[in-house]
Structure 1
Amino acid sequence: GLELPGLTYAEPAYARALDWLLCDGLQRLGYPDGGSLYLRLSTRQLDQKPFELASERLGTEQLRMDVLAGGYRLVEPSDAADLVIAASGPVVSEALEAALALEDEGVNVLVLDVTSSDRLYRGWRSEIRDAARHARISEEPHQLANLLSTSERHLPIVTVHDAASHHLSWMGSVFGARTVPIGVDQFGQSGSIHDLYGVFDLLPEQIVNAAFVALAS
C-alpha cells in the first residue's frame, strides 16, 4: 500500500522529527493537492542526543526543513568524508555505532538520517522529469543534492533499513555512486531485536563490514 497515489511514507527515528512530520502531515490534509501521511514507527527507545546535536549544529529551522524534505545530515565526518551511511528509522542507532567504529579505523563517515524516502525520491524524480520535459536543468536542487556537497556525491553509500533492502538502494543511482544496501529480504523469523538484526546484517559490526565492501571497489 505504500505506493498508493496520494500517500507519503515517513519513518522518523527521533521524537521531535516525528512531531514535525505529524504536524506537517495534518496541515497538508487541508491542501487542494494534499495527501495522506503513512508513519512507520517503533516502540524501541532511542537516545535523542544525536538529534539534539544536529539541531545545535544546523539550527532548529534548517533541521526542520530538512526533516520535512526527507532527510538531513545527522553526523558529520571528522575530516573529508570517505563514505556515506544513509539509514532510516530506529536502525539509525546501529548506523551511528558503525560510523564510530569506522572512524576508529580511519574511515571518515557522513551519516544521513532518511526521514521520508518518499519525499527524498520524489524531489529527485521531479527534478529529472521536469528537466526531460523542458530540456533544461532545474535551478532548484533536490534535497539529496542539498545534503551532499559536490565532492561527496560520488562517495560509496551504505544504505541501512530494517525493511526491504531495495527501499533506499536507489540513492546510489542519483550521482552514480557504488551502493551496498542492507535490509530485510525474508520474512517470518522471530526473536529479539539483536538476534533478528544479526540475521539481516543490521548489527553495527556487520554494517562496518558492508562499508569495507563498498570502499574496496
Structure 2
Amino acid sequence: MKHTERHRTQRIGWLRAAVLGANDGIVSTASLVLGVAAAGADAQGILVAGVAGLVAGSMSMAAGEYISVSSQADTERADLARESRELIASPEGEQQELTAIYIERGLDPALASDVATQLMKHDALGAHARDELGISVSLAARPVQAALASASSFTVGAALPLLIVVLFPFASLMWAVSGSSLLFLALLGLLSAKAGGAPVIAATSRVTFWGALAMAMTAGVGALFGVSA
C-alpha cells in the first residue's frame, strides 16, 4: 500500500528561517519608520531610513543565519566523523549500542539485536546518525539555504511597510504603517501556521502582539527624542 501520510517536519529548516526573516523585516522596518516619523523627520528622511534598514537587515539576517547554521553543520560533521571512526574501531560495540537504543524504545532484546544487525549491514553510519545522534537528511543543517531564505524573506517583509510609506500621504503615515504592518504580521502568522500545521490563533496572536509592542516602544522613543531635540 502506498504511504500517503503528509508530514511537515521536513519543512522545519526553511520554514523557520523564512518566518523569522519576514517577521523581522516587517517589525524592524515598520518600527524604524514609526520611530523616525515620531522624531519629526520628513517623508524623504523616513523613506531613506527605511531603505537603509531593509538593506542592513537583510544582510545581517543572511550573515547571522549562515554563521549559526554553519556552526550546527560543523557539529554534525564532527559527530559523524567520530561515529565513523568508532564504527571502524569497534563495530561490535557500536552494534550493541544500537541494540540498546532499540531495546530502550520498546523492542524485545532478540528483535532489537536483529534490527541493529540488519541496519548495520545496510548503512551502519546512517543508522547511528539517525538513531543515536538524531541527524537525518530532512533535518540536516543547510547554511546556504537558510541564509537565502532568511535574507529574501526579510527583504519581502521589509518592503511591505516601505510600500505604505510610498503610497500613503505623510499626514496619515504613522497610522497607515502601524495598521498595515499588524495586518501583514497577522497574515504571516496565518500562513506559517498553515504551512507548519500549527494552531492558527496562537501563531497569529503572538506575532501581532510582539510586533505591536516593538512598534509602540520604538515610536515612543522617537517621540521622546524628537521632542527633546
- Which TM-score tier does this pair reach, normalised by the shorter chain? under 0.3
Question: Which has the larger strand fraction?
Answer: 1
TM-score, normalised with respect to structure 2: 0.24
TM-score, normalised with respect to structure 1: 0.25
For the pair shown, the structure with the greater C-alpha radius of gyration is 2
Structure with the larger RCO, 1 or 2 (CA within 8 Å, 6+ apart): 2
